[in-house]
Amino acid sequence: MSTILVIGAGGVSSVAVHKMAMNADIFSDIHLASRTRSKCDSIAASVKSRTGQDVATYEIDAEEVPAMVNLIRKIKPSLVVNLALPYQDLPIMDACLEAGVSYLDTANYEPKDEAKFEYHWQWAYHDRFKEAGLMALLGSGFDPGVTSVFTMWLKKHKLKTIRQLDILDCNGGDHGQAFATNFNPEINIREVTAPARHWENGAWVETPAMAVKQTFDFDQVGEKNMYLMYHEELESLAKFLPELERARFWMTFGDEYIKHLTVLQAVGMTGIEPVRYQGRDIIPLQFLAAVLPKPETLGSTTKGKTNIGVIATGEALDGSGEKTFYINNICDHEDAFEETGNQAVSYTTGVPAMIGSAMMLTGKWSGEGVFNMEQMDPDPFMDMLNAHGLPWNVVEMDGPVSF
């Protein structure tokens, strides 16, 4: 029985809060705070009608540390779950330290003026969380999050060492719009327009954004083009699996998405440097995000499935030589919408945020300091994925990937 405080009221938060309310034995008292209180209220109303559970709501600017500390002291939660934006990670961690409460998020800190997805800012909090006897769990979404847990499950049950790792993120959903992003447009576009980076023989190899393309036949989705990208779990996987010779991240994009993004980039609409317009500074990407469809409005029209997984090659645990395994989850957009009112991209992130929180609240995962998912026992998390809407499947492949 625990009190929980969730920050942020977007699609991911909506799924996580619905799922917490469906598990009232663990999350008995749910509080939701965000910049716009009306969004918290509509999540609370949906949770009430679907589950009968109450959610208390508050307005907060999570970048105002003293206000956050006051709110935490008033609610006295066992855990603060940060489902706002990566910009708020450090102020929320500061508030947790000051108010003496543990922390969880789904995306690593990013400064507003630089599209850099790196853990070092948050890893630097390790000693302070340790000294305070608190735990911070970083990246408990799908990718990062489940992809790291999948990898560590393979390492625990199938492979003694992992030589090659490919993370394949496919969204085969169609939302019926010419151009839209499935999660926060500003964060999404910053991510896909950043140079690609993968880990090879102990160093990062950088290539231009969206320059390396492969075609892959995804189960229950079909053939899709996927592009080499940088993604934040590569940094923690390279750190915690020192034997990795190569680790890469691939994401699928349709031709229409690429066409629109190319034009928007070419005309400067994806820039994050301020531009002077009619006497005030505006950031082109923030303006673009404001005119694009809101991800939470795409749920009712999105059809199709996501298929996200990990292909790992290494020495088999049973001594039978080199083996390759593919472990993945397939999630249906319409099923996700029916259950929580949100499409599968929010669902596949919000469910692992609930599960990571459950791991911490039940003590199945514990520690003092700042931790990544790779440092925890994958088994109880994998059990909860199966039980709470994200079942996974593992198959042995004929050999390593050919691309």
356 forms part of the interface with ligand NDP (CB under 6 A)? no
Q: Which of 143, 166, 235, 332 binds ligand NDP (CB under 6 A)?
A: 143
**Residue list 188-217, contact with ligand NDP (CB under 6 A):** none
The residue (of 86 and 299) whose beta carbon lies closer to ligand NDP is 86
Measured CA to CA, the distance from residue 333 to residue 327 in angstroms comes to 20
Give me 320's structure tokens. Answer: 């039978």
Considering only 4, 5, 6, 9, the residue that binds ligand NDP (CB under 6 A) is 9
Q: What are the helix and strand counts (H, E) for the chain?
A: 14, 18
Our CB check for ligand NDP shows the closer of 107 and 285 to be: 107
Q: How far is the CB of 40 from ligand NDP (least distance, A)?
A: 8
Distance of CA 56 to the CA centre of its chain: 25
Q: What number of other Cβ atoms are within 10 A of residue 246's Cβ?
A: 16
Q: Residues in contact with ligand NDP, total (CB under 6 A)?
A: 33
Give whichever of 24 and 67 is closer to ligand NDP, judged by the CB atom: 67
Distance in angstroms (rounded) separating the CA atoms of residues 369 and 125: 8
Residue 400, preceding peptide bond in cis (omega within 30° of 0): no
d(CA 157, CA 78): 32
Of these, 184, 252, 340, 343, which contacts ligand NDP (CB under 6 A)? Answer: 184
**What string of DSSP letters covers 61-75?**
-TT-HHHHHHHHHHH
Beta bridge partners of 314: 162, 323
Does residue 349 bind ligand NDP (CB under 6 A)? Answer: yes
* Residue of 144, 314, 356, 369 that binds ligand NDP (CB under 6 A): 144
How far, in whole angstroms, is CA 45 from its chain's centroid?
25
CB of 21 to ligand NDP, least distance (A): 17
Q: Does 90 bind ligand NDP (CB under 6 A)?
A: no
In the complex with ligand NDP, which residue's Cβ is closer, 81 or 159? 81
Helix (H, G, I), strand (E, B) or coil at 360: helix
Cβ atoms of 30 and 4 within 8 Å: the answer is yes
Neighbours of 288 (CB within 10 A): 17
Give the separation between CA 33 and CA 57, rounded to whole angstroms: 6
Binding to ligand NDP (CB under 6 A) within 263-302 occurs at 295-296
Site for ligand NDP, residues 98 to 137, rule: CB under 6 A: 106-107
**3-state helix, strand and coil shares in percent for the chain, rounded to the nearest 5:** 40, 30, 35
Tell me if 181 contacts ligand NDP by CB under 6 A: no
Residue 142 touching ligand NDP (CB under 6 A): yes
* 36 contributes a contact to ligand NDP by CB under 6 A: yes
Of 2-10, 43-51, 253-261, 331-339, the segment contacting ligand NDP by CB under 6 A is 2-10
Question: Does 311 contact ligand NDP by CB under 6 A?
Answer: no
Q: Is 12 a residue that touches ligand NDP (CB under 6 A)?
A: yes
13 binds ligand NDP (CB under 6 A): yes
Verify binding: residue 252, ligand NDP, rule CB under 6 A: no
C-beta of 96 vs 159, nearer to ligand NDP: 96
Burial 254-284 (b: 16+ CB within 10 A, else e): eeebeeebeebbeeeebebeeeeeeeeeebb
- Minimum gap (Å) between residue 50 Cβ and ligand NDP: 18
Q: CA torsion, points 123, 383, 81, 296, in degrees to nearest 10? A: 110
Q: Which stretch binds ligand NDP (CB under 6 A): 58-66, 170-178, 244-252, 261-269?
A: 58-66
- Tell me how far apart the alpha carbons of residues 255 and 22 are, in angstroms, rounded to a whole number: 38
60-89 binders of ligand NDP (CB under 6 A):
60-63, 83-86, 88
**Residues in the site for ligand NDP, rule: CB under 6 A?**
7-13, 34-36, 39, 60-63, 83-86, 88, 106-107, 141-145, 183-184, 187, 295-296, 349
